[in-house]
Structure 1
Amino acid sequence: MMPVKYLIVASFLLILCCWNAVGFLQGDEHFQILEFAAYKQGIVAAADLPWEFAERMRPAAQPAIAWSAYSLFELFGTPHPYWLAFFLRLLSAGLFTVLAVCLFRRYSPQLSSDRLIKWFALLLLFNWASIYSGIRFSGENWSGMALAAGFLLYPMAPSKNTEHYFTPGKKAGPSIFAFYAGLLFGLSFLFRYQMGLMVVGFGAWLLFLAREKWQRVGLLILGGLTTLAIGTLLDYWLYGEWVIAPWHYLEQNLVAGKAAEFGTLPWYGYFQKVFERGVPPLSLIYLGASLWFLWRYRRDPISWMIIPFFVVHCFLSRKDVRFLFPLLPFLPVMIIAAAQELQKAYGAHFFDRKWVRGTIGLCVLLNGLLLASIALRPATTEVLVNRYIYNHYDEPITLFADGKHAFSYANLIIRFYQRPGGVRIINGERSNWPACQTAHCLYSEQTKTPNPPPGAKQVYTNRPAWAEPFNFGGWLDGMRWWYIYELE
């Protein structure tokens, strides 16, 4: 059983992370979900949505969940968008915790010592990379959790040959659980289409290694098709016409080459990205343990799911480390399997060696610092800034800008966090600004050297006043900070 004290500490940590990690890790998390949901609520016009909406290529499953949450909030008055986003992060964190408990129950009996069992629980709940993704209401996170849940739910019989297996089988259960697993696999696909590669990998394992009964395979497929049918209905709800969104996604990104427009890397680019973004020496553990697991337990269903997913992603030109986030639920399993093998190979006292304990201590310290960063910093500073505007100006305002402003992100405008009809944005040369027609006129900029219009009064900055006494060498001055001004 997962130690209760770990769950209590993890719950407080996750709530803190959800509260402070406002915004989004990448634009798709916001613009392809929350802005789509806002469109269905009549808050955002179709013309203001990103180009993917016009191409009918994004799944409607998560926008439907966000829309449902918005409708629930409406029962108690006008929904506060920042509270709604916080609720969705809390929901994600709750599912993350439940999945961690389920993984612990499944794999902890495989571990040979209390030390390894303790470490496994800590890895599941406190690995910084898992929490970094686990609190997000993103397709990458929810697809990975749905697939892992379906995998755990499947009534998998114990293997007769355990040499290259780490995943234990389950006691004989009703075949209907194969159908439920199929529902979750289908849901994983609807959250992120690339998850079809992992589903195919699991299906291949069932057919070629597990020699699964056709009845269960059929129930698994039926469950997946049921979810896909529901997804098609949701796509009609979102787009107002019958579409095959997965095909449109494939057509735009691979046939038309849209994905390559966002940058390309060679096939080995993911190794570089994981090494850098995973933060050495932690990233060396992530890479080393994963590659070792895929070889040592090459007949394990986890390996059969991960290998096709990873190999195909390596040969796709566009690479982003977040595309690998769906694999994070299985990362603690692969790390603890490697740790157990080290203990078997070098003895029970291997982890008591001075240099090993020092390395583990360094990793724990680094992981703690990264967790503190996640718990205390916003994911997107733009949302932190426009939250100030939302909370301090009830009536309509005019926001003047001569470049990037509080509601801009890349070449898009964040409208989900605006009061409906409450923000008029005028962006252009200052000499061409018209007279302000609202009670409050604001100017915002993100810069190292503030240059507000004459007579402007600063009302907000995210530059921390408490850090000014420690501005040795002007390190604060070398960073870009947000400023909001009231104009006369």
Structure 2
Amino acid sequence: MKLNFNSLIIFLATIVFALTAYFSVGYFHADEHYQVIEFAGLKAGWNTPQEVAWEYHTQIRSALLPTLAYWIFSFNSFFHITDPYTSLFVLRLISGFLCLFALVFFFRKSSIVIFKPEQSNSFFKATYLILLLLSWYIPFLSVRFSSETWSAICLLFALGFYFEIGKNKYNALIIGILFGLSFLFRFQMAFGLIGIGIYHLIYGQQKLKTTLSVLIGFSIVLLIGIFIDRWFYSEWVFTPWNYFWLFFENDILNNVESSFGTSSKYYYLEALVQLPTHFIGIVLLICFVIAVIFKPKNPVVWFIIPFVLIHSLIAHKEERFLFPIVFLFPFFIISAFLVMSQSTFLRKFFNPLVIYTIFALFFTHVVGLFFMTTKSAGLGRMEITQYIHSHYDTQKIHLINTPYSNPYNPWGSLPEKMYLEKKIDFQQIDNLANFSDTLFQTKSINLLVVRGYYLENNKLPKNIDKMGLKLIAQSISKKEQSMNRYVKGFENADVLYLYEWKRHNTSTTKRSRTHVNE
């Protein structure tokens, strides 16, 4: 069977997604770990209520995603897969391939709406598919076992079915189920679902019948979610109500300033331009405006506008809150390009914009896709723990760390039990001025973890050499740090450096000597 170009793109994307799942060790944001993996540990038996995040005690998180993680861990254990890093790789692989499937499904269904059958659109279709599957950020976000990614997966499937809502009598019910799952994975999806609901009441076909079917599907999922929460929290609880009431009580009734910080109302507009890099951000903003003006009857537009606007009104803002909709950005780029190519007024801007976009995409994709595919997640803390796990087996380890440098407990109050080694003890020093070789234990492997902040503000490196400490690993490689000058994805002060005391540990010297990333 002869493969077409689109099939080759999907095949290439499958490889990229698998590689990203393998290399993307750890988590991008703390919630991805502490409110999913550590929550799953409560049922898996390696965690206790006293050791998990406060969200568990306030019962404001749906237990659906932690329950899925628990089921997958149990499945892994049945096949004797007990290594934590392998188990988490399985989670990322499942997320990545499911998201890949959702993106291809969305591509096929949305293409029917975007492209006219009588026109030759092979170039635009291929470009659209490449943007959907191989934009530099897509594989990285796709492999995240997080509420943002799983809500996006359900949204992509739901929108794909919505484009053909009247084609099958069961489509509306399926859409309701998928919207319900998207909501349970991330409650803030309700903002966009309100927009979809209004759109359907205005433009939808068979409004009463389809609306009723959607609501039935949504209600079924909501009911299942209540039973899952009952099992997880050991009491009857309606987590969506708890979540939104906590927000309403703090932000509206009591006007309590968020302990996580506040941002400008224009934060997401600025993030939209800056985070994809200015090359792509400017194009994206232009394309979004064109799509809204010339394609106002599109359900995707009606979902995104209230989603972004309501998020902009909330004081606490983070770029990850937009992750569920960034998978839809290629939809707007292609929609705008088609509008421009067919508009007499806009056609004069079409060729320059396309040429600019191709250049911008080539630059960001070649560099960015390779960078994001091969790097660990976030600040790379799990690069350090994985190195310790793979190189020291069951040996007793004495880990010395500066404040906020302990990769197993970076904030000092919530241990990462999933990664924690059994034969390891910790000792924190307040600053490097207090560091000396008297802290070493002769019967243990002595390791020191230091944040880049302390190396930048102290003359420690020379002292380290004199004490017999050698750098053996770091959370972010030197190459990534060099590239970071252009993308500004992290602060060098937050990079972790792992040292080993070699003076009395010569048996491990050969094994560790060449591991530091160059």
TM-score range, shorter chain: 0.7 to 0.9
Question: Residue 278 of structure 1 is aligned with which of 266, 276, 279?
Answer: 276
Name the SS for the 1:32 alignment partner: helix
- TM-superposed CA distance for 1:351, in Å, is 9.0
Q: Deviations over 1:206-251 (max 9, x none)?
A: 2232153423222211111111111112212222222221222223
Report the counterpart of residue 484 of structure 1 in structure 2: 499
Distance 1:92 1:220 in 2: 25
- TM-superposed CA distance for 1:290, in Å, is 1.9
CA contact (8 A) 2:17 2:96 kept: yes
Residue 130 (structure 2) pairs with residue 130 (structure 1): no
Name the SS for the 1:444 alignment partner: strand
Shift in alpha-carbon separation, 1:464–1:247, aligned structure 2, 3 A: closer
CA contact (8 A) 1:398 1:437 kept: no
Distance 1:283 1:348 in 2: 20
| Farther-moved stretch of structure 1 (382-391 vs 337-346) | 337-346
CA contact (8 A) 1:382 1:408 kept: no
Percent of residue pairs identical: 25
CA contact (8 A) 1:139 1:192 kept: yes
- TM-superposed CA distance for 1:47, in Å, is 1.5
State the one-letter code of the partner of 2:25.
V
Q: Deviations over 1:32-85 (max 9, x none)?
A: 111111222111222221121121111111111111111011112251111111
Residue 221 (structure 2) pairs with residue 244 (structure 1): no
Question: Residue 204 of structure 1 is aligned with which of 198, 209, 222?
Answer: 198
Report the counterpart of residue 77 of structure 1 in structure 2: 80
Shift in alpha-carbon separation, 1:226–1:354, aligned structure 2, 3 A: closer
Report the counterpart of residue 426 of structure 2 in structure 1: 425
How many residues are treated as equivalent by the alignment? 466
Question: Residue 264 of structure 2 is aligned with which of 266, 269, 276?
Answer: 266
- TM-superposed CA distance for 1:438, in Å, is 7.0
Name the SS for the 2:25 alignment partner: coil
Distance 1:465 1:269 in 2: 30
Unaligned runs of 5+ in 1: 155-167, 471-477
CA contact (8 A) 1:2 1:101 kept: no
Q: Deviations over 1:163-193 (max 9, x none)?
A: xxxxx5466312x222222111111111100
Residue 473 (structure 2) pairs with residue 461 (structure 1): yes
| Farther-moved stretch of structure 1 (378-387 vs 445-454) | 445-454
Distance 1:22 1:325 in 2: 19
CA contact (8 A) 1:253 1:259 kept: no
| Farther-moved stretch of structure 1 (280-289 vs 399-408) | 399-408
Unaligned runs of 5+ in 2: 483-491, 505-518
Question: Residue 118 of structure 1 is aligned with which of 111, 126, 139?
Answer: 126
- TM-superposed CA distance for 1:99, in Å, is 1.5
State the one-letter code of the partner of 1:399.
L
- TM-superposed CA distance for 1:383, in Å, is 0.5
Distance 1:350 1:118 in 2: 23
Residue 454 (structure 2) pairs with residue 446 (structure 1): no
Distance 1:337 1:233 in 2: 41
User: What is the TM-score with the length of structure 1 in the denominator?
Assistant: 0.86
Report the counterpart of residue 168 of structure 2 in structure 1: 173
Q: Deviations over 1:285-312 (max 9, x none)?
A: 2222123222322222112222221111
Q: Deviations over 1:117-174 (max 9, x none)?
A: 11111111111232332221111111012022122224xxxxxxxxxxxxx5466312
Report the counterpart of residue 390 of structure 2 in structure 1: 391
Name the SS for the 1:137 alignment partner: coil
CA contact (8 A) 2:165 2:172 kept: no
CA contact (8 A) 1:39 1:46 kept: yes
Report the counterpart of residue 8 of structure 1 in structure 2: 11
State the one-letter code of the partner of 1:212.
Q
CA contact (8 A) 2:44 2:70 kept: yes
State the one-letter code of the partner of 2:472.
Y
Shift in alpha-carbon separation, 1:170–1:237, aligned structure 2, 3 A: closer
Shift in alpha-carbon separation, 1:169–1:42, aligned structure 2, 3 A: closer
CA contact (8 A) 1:60 1:238 kept: yes
State the one-letter code of the partner of 2:401.
A
CA contact (8 A) 2:440 2:446 kept: no
Name the SS for the 1:24 alignment partner: coil
Give the aligned CA root-mean-square deviation in angstroms: 3.1
Distance 2:442 2:48 in 1: 23
CA contact (8 A) 2:401 2:428 kept: yes
